[in-house]
Amino acid sequence: MPIQLKHPEAPFDSRAEVMMPGVGGFPPSDRPLFLAGYSELCRIDLSGKRALEICGGFGKLAAGLAETFPHAEVIGLDLYAASGPEIEERMKRLPGLSYVAGDAFDLSAYEEASFDLVWGQAALHHLAHDIDGLCVQVSRVLKPGGRFVFIFEPMGHNLLVAAIRAVRMAQGELGDESNLYLSQFERATSHFSSCEVQMFNLLGYPMKGVSDRFKFLSSAVHRIDSWLFRKFPKLLRYGANCNVIFTK
């Protein structure tokens, strides 16, 4: 099934802004990408529903979603369960939120069709060695119409990403990480009914190195990227970063 390529532009869902602290230490130039991604997390009203974050790390984003939907059950899963006093305080404040240790490739602890949303941020490029295995697990636990969302992933079609990350990989800096390719998403659609890929950072990739003081420069390059994507849609495949939304 073909995937749909897009470059979403503001306005984004106002609830996405509230979740921005979940971004942690990521570059400010990626704000539009995160706002678009978090808008996707809010697309289904999760009140009374269940959501699972995979590769959730310290779980700030899971907490942001639990705050946005206080009547949802939100589970943050990572190989290393988030723990400590801050996590305890969060779980007391947000009774629907919990954190578990587990492997994204083994969701056998969860019943079939038991989640409305499964998502990961900066996650898929850590799981890229077996995207098919991951999709088998996730599509089993998702309800029909449920969504599988990835936010902030690096794309190997962008030559600058490919070059910079090749050097960093050669230096052993990127551990279990891989760049992603659209053909991998196309293959994964066999487990879902649709796939949308939101592309960002055509020329904007180097802006990640620009300090917050010069954010006017990042904003200007973002506007140029948006114009280029609108004017020449074939450039969409060369975006450096993406969000991916599969629907079951």
Of the candidate residues 80, 214, 227, 232, the single one contacting ligand SAM (CB under 6 A): 80
CA distances, 54 to each of 62, 173, 221, 227, 243 (Å) = 10, 22, 32, 34, 15
77 vs 221, beta carbon nearer ligand SAM: 77
Of the candidate residues 16, 104, 117, 199, the single one contacting ligand SAM (CB under 6 A): 104
**Is the peptide bond prior to 11 cis by the omega test (within 30 degrees of 0)?**
yes
Of the candidate residues 56, 146, 154, 239, the single one contacting ligand SAM (CB under 6 A): 56
Residue 119 token pair? 């998502």
13 vs 177, beta carbon nearer ligand SAM: 177
Residue showing the smallest CB distance to ligand SAM in the complex: 57
Of the candidate residues 121, 137, 178, 241, the single one contacting ligand SAM (CB under 6 A): 121
47 vs 83, beta carbon nearer ligand SAM: 83
Q: Is 225 in the site for ligand SAM (CB under 6 A)?
A: no
Dihedral (Cα; 37, 42, 43, 45), 10-degree rounding? 160
Q: Is 41 in the site for ligand SAM (CB under 6 A)?
A: no
Q: Is 103 in the site for ligand SAM (CB under 6 A)?
A: yes
Q: Give the length of the chain.
A: 248
Q: How far apart are CA 123 and CA 64, in angstroms?
A: 17
Of the candidate residues 105, 113, 164, 237, the single one contacting ligand SAM (CB under 6 A): 105
Q: How far apart are CA 199 and CA 47, in angstroms?
A: 29
Question: Which helix (H) or strand (E) segment is 87 a member of?
Answer: helix 85-93
Sole window of 9-17, 116-124, 162-170, 182-190 interacting with ligand SAM (rule: CB under 6 A): 116-124
Query: Quick one: DSSP state of residue 111?
Result: -
Q: Is 21 in the site for ligand SAM (CB under 6 A)?
A: no
Sole window of 1-9, 48-56, 194-202, 207-215 interacting with ligand SAM (rule: CB under 6 A): 48-56
Q: Is 36 in the site for ligand SAM (CB under 6 A)?
A: no
Outline where DSSP puts E strands in 46-175: 50-54, 73-78, 97-101, 115-121, 142-154
Q: How far apart are CA 75 and CA 96, in angstroms?
A: 8
Q: Is 123 in the site for ligand SAM (CB under 6 A)?
A: yes
The residue ranges that bind ligand SAM (CB under 6 A) are: 24, 54-57, 78-80, 103-105, 121-123, 126-127
